[in-house]
């Protein structure tokens, strides 16, 4: 499955210098998708014609010496919960099967302005709810490293598309790990920016106090480059922060000297697969070698992150998804003639999948009178304690490091019968969203596991978590780590 694919920066550089054309790059990406997607199922939609027109436009601009954006000609895959004008956008849900947005998400407008060329929309868990991509109405995505394993979720299609060398850059969204965990499972890099760093306008909302959009790439430098384009305030999203946007690429100086990295030992040792711990410990040595100082820290409330997250996100989801009622857009039950109430309930019953229904019901329950104080309010209080844990940690360290997932990529079907087991797999990612901090997952190891007739090589990831709006430091440390190890250059075979 391996194909030599350059990163986004290299591709944009080659196009700008005339060493290749945007149309040739676009054709190569489309060929690759045509070859691997029938088995991967990473794309819900491939927009070949539109992509080739846009690529030709980039080549024309170059020929005319018109200014080119920093991502000019870079093939881009977009998670299917982000609106692109005129392009079917489904959130991998039957209820939006026919939805065509009349506007662009702000991130789409920014990336296209920078010259990126959208080649398609990627498969994901329905409304981004899941950790394995198995909750998609269009079937699961397969992991490019091992076809019977999950690519992670919910941005499984985006991560698989980057790992399988279809595109050097994909967009994901991360509410509780959906960029970082699939990036870890597919052996690529995934960045969840600080809450508010990137506008959410045009993202189909799951849990609005947690959702963030970010890039999935083949290396840290491309993540920095993409964030540079994505970041900044937006009049269309009042939560998009006014915070100044630094030069992220400039922060990558190749080492981690002077950086204090906190290791939450007690939190990390519990219930973590031995192969993940071994990779993690080896990675800590590499960080020391790159100049970082390691410091033991404590996040005493992190163990409550799963229940807190699954109360908060379901509460917000039940409210956000109330809009899918068969009236305004998307699917309407053909059996809708028996009155308004029947139309609502038939449409939602037929349109939503099992996990989405489970969350709507859970969320409605935790918000209902009589239970609100016991569940939702309590969860928000523990969320504050979690924030205080991180605040305290960041008094003595600049970055916190953890595995991204407690296990290597698991098998398709392995956790589908037991939602709780699936939720527990999110233990290391969700606290980061609950507090709003930036986090980046990078490859940090490969574990070999026997399978009938051979051996699976499975990627392991770890994440760096930074202070609010300090993506620059986690990018710097992740880049230094990438340079001292080989993990980001491994390819699925
Ligand atoms: N796996 C988590 C969930 O199921 C996170 C999903 C996400 O980040 N969108 O909610």
Confidence of residue 269 (pLDDT cuts 50, 70, 90): confident
Residue 130: CB within 6 Å of ligand 1? yes
CA of 41 to the centre of ligand 1 (A): 20
- CA triplet 187, 188, 194: central angle to 5 degrees? 130
Identify whether 275 is a catalytic site residue.
Answer: no
Per the structure, the complete domain to which residue 116 belongs is given by 8-264+395-489
Q: Give the residue-averaged pLDDT of 225-250.
A: 98
Identify whether 132 is a catalytic site residue.
Answer: no
The structure tokens listed for 116 are 């990126």
Q: What is the pLDDT of residues 35-78, one digit of tens each?
A: 999 999 999 999 999 999 999 999 999 999 999 999 999 999 99
Pick the atom of ligand 1 nearest to 177's CA: 8
Using CB atoms within 10 Å of the CB of residue 491, give its burial: 0 to 12 exposed, 13 to 18 middle, 19+ buried.
Answer: middle
What percent of the chain is predicted at pLDDT more than 70? Answer: 99
Q: Specify the residue for token string 């290749």.
A: 20
The answer as to whether 373 is a domain residue is no
The pLDDT value given to residue 227: 98
Q: What is the pLDDT of residues 276-329, one digit of tens each?
A: 999 999 999 999 999 999 999 999 999 999 999 999 999 999 999 999 999 988
The structure tokens listed for 144 are 């490019």
The pLDDT value given to residue 5: 62
453 torsion bin: left (phi>0), alpha (psi -120 to 50), beta (else): left
Mean residue pLDDT across the chain: 96
Cα(first)–Cα(last) distance of the chain, in Å?
A: 5
Residue 317: CB within 6 Å of ligand 1? no
* pTM attached to this predicted model: 0.98
Pick the atom of ligand 1 nearest to 313's CA: 10
Question: What gap in Å lies between CA 149 and CA 155, rounded to an integer?
Answer: 15
Per-residue three-class SS string for 98-155: CCCCCCCCHHHHHHHHCCCEEEEEECCCHHHCCCCCCCCCCCCCCECCECCECCCCCC
The answer as to whether 280 is a domain residue is no
Confidence of residue 493 (pLDDT cuts 50, 70, 90): confident
- The residue whose CB lies within 8 Å of the most ligand 1 atoms, and thus the one to mutate among 177, 182, 212, 311, is 177
The answer as to whether 169 is a domain residue is yes
Query: Would you say 239 and 195 are in contact if contact means Cβ atoms under 8 Å apart?
Result: yes
Confidence of residue 260 (pLDDT cuts 50, 70, 90): very high
- The residue whose CB lies within 8 Å of the most ligand 1 atoms, and thus the one to mutate among 125, 174, 176, is 176
CA of 63 to the centre of ligand 1 (A): 44
The answer as to whether 345 is a domain residue is no
The pLDDT value given to residue 122: 99
Query: Would you say 55 and 73 are in contact if contact means Cβ atoms under 8 Å apart?
Result: yes
Query: Would you say 93 and 185 are in contact if contact means Cβ atoms under 8 Å apart?
Result: no
pLDDT for residue 338 is more than 90: no
The answer as to whether 278 is a domain residue is no
Q: Looking at 132, 178, 199, 488, which residue is catalytic?
A: 178
The answer as to whether 121 is a domain residue is yes
Largest CA distance in the chain: 69
CA of 178 to the centre of ligand 1 (A): 5
Query: Would you say 202 and 104 are in contact if contact means Cβ atoms under 8 Å apart?
Result: yes
Residue 214: CB within 6 Å of ligand 1? no
Identify whether 368 is a catalytic site residue.
Answer: no
449 φ/ψ angles, rounded to the nearest 5 degrees: -130, 135
Using CB atoms within 10 Å of the CB of residue 102, give its burial: 0 to 12 exposed, 13 to 18 middle, 19+ buried.
Answer: exposed
Q: What is the pLDDT of residues 133-152, one digit of tens each?
A: 999 999 999 999 999 999 99
The structure tokens listed for 12 are 């944009």
The structure tokens listed for 203 are 């993202």
Residue 129: CB within 6 Å of ligand 1? yes
CA of 91 to the centre of ligand 1 (A): 13
Look at the chain and report how many structural domains it folds into: 1
Q: Give the residue-averaged pLDDT of 469-492.
A: 95
Nearest Cα residue to atom 5 of ligand 1:
176
Q: What is the pLDDT of residues 342-370, one digit of tens each?
A: 999 999 999 999 999 999 999 999 999 99
- The CATH code of the domain that includes 232 is 3.90.1300.10
The answer as to whether 367 is a domain residue is no
Q: What is the layout of strands, in order, in the sheet containing 43-46? A: 43-46, 117-122, 75-79, 169-174, 212-217, 189-192, 439-451, 454-466, 399-403, 260-263, 293-296
CA of 188 to the centre of ligand 1 (A): 18
Among the ranges given (96-100, 339-343, 393-397), the one the predictor scored with the smallest mean pLDDT:
339-343
The pLDDT value given to residue 2: 36
The answer as to whether 82 is a domain residue is yes
Beta-carbon count within 10 A of 372 CB: 14
CA of 310 to the centre of ligand 1 (A): 9
């Amino acid at each position: 499955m391996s194909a030599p694919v350059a990163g986004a920066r290299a591709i944009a550089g080659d196009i700008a210098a005339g060493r290749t054309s945007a149309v040739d790059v676009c054709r190569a990406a489309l060929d690759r998708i045509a070859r691997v997607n029938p088995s991967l199922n990473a794309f819900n939609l491939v927009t070949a014609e539109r992509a080739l027109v846009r690529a030709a436009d980039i080549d024309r601009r170059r020929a005319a010496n018109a200014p080119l954006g920093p991502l000019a000609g870079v093939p881009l895959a977009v998670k299917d919960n982000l609106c692109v004008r005129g392009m079917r956008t489904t959130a991998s849900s039957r209820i939006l099967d026919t939805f065509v947005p009349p506007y662009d998400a702000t991130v789409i407008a920014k990336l296209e302005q920078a010259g990126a060329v959208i080649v398609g929309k990627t498969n994901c868990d329905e409304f981004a709810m899941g950790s394995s991509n198995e909750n998609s109405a269009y079937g699961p995505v397969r992991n490019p490293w091992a076809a019977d394993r999950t690519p992670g979720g919910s941005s499984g299609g985006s991560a698989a598309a980057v790992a399988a060398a279809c595109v050097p850059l994909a967009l994901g969204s991360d509410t509780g790990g959906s960029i970082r965990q699939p990036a870890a499972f597919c052996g690529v890099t995934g960045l969840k920016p600080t809450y508010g760093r990137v506008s959410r306008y045009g993202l189909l909302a799951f849990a609005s106090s947690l959702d963030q959009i970010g890039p999935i790439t083949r290396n840290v430098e491309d993540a920095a480059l993409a964030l540079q384009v994505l970041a900044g305030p937006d009049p269309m999203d009042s939560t998009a922060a006014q915070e100044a946007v630094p030069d992220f690429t400039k922060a990558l100086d190749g080492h981690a000297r002077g950086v204090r990295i906190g290791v939450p030992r007690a939190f990390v040792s519990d219930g973590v697969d031995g192969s993940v711990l071994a990779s993690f410990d080896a990675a800590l040595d590499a960080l020391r070698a790159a100049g970082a100082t390691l410091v033991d820290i404590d996040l005493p409330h992190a163990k409550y992150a799963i229940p807190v997250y699954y109360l908060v996100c379901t509460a917000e989801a039940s409210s956000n998804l109330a809009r899918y009622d068969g009236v305004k857009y998307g699917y309407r039950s053909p059996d809708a003639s028996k009155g308004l109430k029947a139309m609502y309930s038939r449409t939602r019953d037929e349109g939503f999948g099992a996990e989405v229904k489970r969350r709507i019901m859970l969320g409605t329950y935790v918000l209902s009178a009589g239970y609100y104080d016991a569940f939702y309010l309590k969860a928000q209080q523990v969320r504050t304690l979690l924030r205080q844990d991180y605040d305290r940690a960041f008094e003595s360290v600049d970055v916190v490091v953890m595995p991204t997932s407690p296990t290597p990529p698991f098998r398709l079907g392995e956790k589908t019968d037991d939602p709780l087991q699936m939720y527990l797999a999110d233990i290391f990612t969700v606290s980061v969203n609950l507090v709003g901090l930036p986090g980046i997952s990078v490859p940090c190891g490969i574990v070999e596991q026997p399978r009938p007739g051979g051996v699976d090589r499975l990627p392991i990831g770890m994440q760096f978590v930074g202070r609010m709006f300090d993506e620059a430091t986690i990018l710097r440390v992740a880049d230094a780590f990438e340079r001292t190890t080989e993990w980001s250059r491994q390819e699925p075979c």
